[in-house]
Amino acid sequence: MSEPEPIRIGGPAIGEPAAAEWERPPAAHAHAAPDLHAVAEPEADAVVPGLAAIAVIRDDQGRVLLVRQRGGPFAGAWLLPGGRAGEDESAVHALVREVREETGLTMTDAVYVAGYRTSGEGYDLTVLMYRGPATGALVPERGSEARWFAFDAIPQSHPVLRRQLVDAGVGRDDDRAIEAALSDAGVRMERSA
């Protein structure tokens, strides 16, 4: 089986303002920007469906980039950068936007790795995982953390992350142990084609 072709991502159309916008002075009436990443808690019995995209980004030492989750069902866990797609946003656009927002990096190519139906209390997501390089300086979003980790140095590795990294060929783990840990965490995670 041949390696999938990367999706070329580039130019100012995705997540980067045109050069003229970089130089635009702030409006005299500008106030502090609202926190666009604030997590709204769903109603107790509400299930939040959606599409999300995540990125496996590795540095030249083979370490993987992880982001500590600020809120939601995985609050406090180190996971791959990424997040939900907006209503009219493709998975790849969401991937580029989320990686930039969470890490300050810009993905330059993306290759699809795997998809998952991931659900638990209050959420039901289709998660598409991509891998590829990123450029720029690592600058986590305000109030968050982003770091490079060797596979065997990830602190308290969440079972969702364990499953994703094994599927992406980043490390080795015991499939039965991952499944048991997912069950203990109340997470259902089914891999799609």
CATH of the domain at 178: 3.90.79.10
Q: Which residues, in sequence order, are CB contacts of 38 under 8 Å at separation 6+? A: 71
Beta bridge partners of 65: 148
**What's the domain range around 52?**
46-192
Q: 91: pLDDT confidence band, cut at 50, 70 and 90?
A: very high
Is residue 169 pLDDT above 50, yes or no? yes
Tell me phi and psi for residue 40, to 5 degrees.
-85, 130
Q: What is the pTM of this model?
A: 0.75
* 27 within domain boundaries: no
Answer yes or no: are the C-beta atoms of 98 and 82 closer than 8 Å.
Answer: yes
* 181 within domain boundaries: yes
Q: 57: pLDDT confidence band, cut at 50, 70 and 90?
A: very high
H or E stretch including 51? strand 48-56
Residue with tokens 């130089």: 23
What are the structure tokens assigned to 169, written together? Answer: 């060929």
Answer yes or no: are the C-beta atoms of 43 and 122 closer than 8 Å.
Answer: no
% of the chain at pLDDT higher than 70:
74
Q: How far does Cα 152 stand from its chain's mean position?
A: 20
What pLDDT, on the 0 to 100 scale, is given for residue 108?
87
pLDDT greater at residue 8 or residue 106: 106
Cα separation, 120 vs 159, whole angstroms: 13
* 104 within domain boundaries: yes
Q: 49: pLDDT confidence band, cut at 50, 70 and 90?
A: low
* 154 within domain boundaries: yes
Mean pLDDT over 58-81 rounds to 91
* 124 within domain boundaries: yes
What pLDDT, on the 0 to 100 scale, is given for residue 62?
94
At residue 71, the 3 state secondary structure works out as: coil
* 102 within domain boundaries: yes
Q: 193: pLDDT confidence band, cut at 50, 70 and 90?
A: low
Structural domain total, the chain: 1
* 39 within domain boundaries: no
Cα separation, 189 vs 85, whole angstroms: 19
Q: How far does Cα 108 stand from its chain's mean position?
A: 15
pLDDT, mean over the chain: 80
Answer yes or no: are the C-beta atoms of 62 and 168 closer than 8 Å.
Answer: no
* 187 within domain boundaries: yes
Q: List the one residue out of 152, 127, 141, 139 whose CA is nearest residue 64.
A: 152
